[in-house]
């Protein structure tokens, strides 16, 4: 059996959330004050964008298959 490559293992451990600016992942909290401020600014911008464009986000993932799956017998409950 072939073992997973280090790159695929690393990608799986960070939950696949990254937005990079050069070599810097802006959604990774840093150690210094400026790194932490950069993280907070980008996180706040992501939350604001999701709030502002929620209709567009919904339309981009809406399909008959997803609507049926999320509203029928699969968790989370249909009330969400």
Give the start-to-end residue ranges of the domains of the chain: 30-69
Q: Within 10 A of 62 (CB to CB), how many other CB atoms are there? A: 11
Among residues 47, 29, 49, which one has the least CA distance to residue 39? 29
Q: Model confidence over 14-25: pLDDT tens digits?
A: 456 677 888 888
Distinct helix (H) and strand (E) counts, the chain: 4, 2
Q: pTM (2 decimals)?
A: 0.55
Q: Rounded to whole angstroms, how far apart are CA atoms 72 and 23? A: 42
- Token pair belonging to 28: 């990774």
> Per-residue pLDDT tens for 49-77?
999 998 888 888 777 666 666 555 555 55
């Amino acid at each position: 059996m072939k073992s997973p490559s280090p790159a695929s293992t690393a990608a799986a451990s960070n939950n696949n959330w990254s937005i990079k600016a050069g070599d810097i992942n802006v959604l990774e909290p840093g150690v210094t004050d400026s790194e932490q401020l950069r993280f907070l600014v980008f996180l706040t911008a992501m939350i604001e964008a999701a709030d502002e464009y929620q209709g567009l986000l919904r339309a981009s993932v809406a399909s008959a298959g997803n609507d049926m799956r999320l509203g029928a017998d699969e968790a989370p409950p249909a009330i969400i």
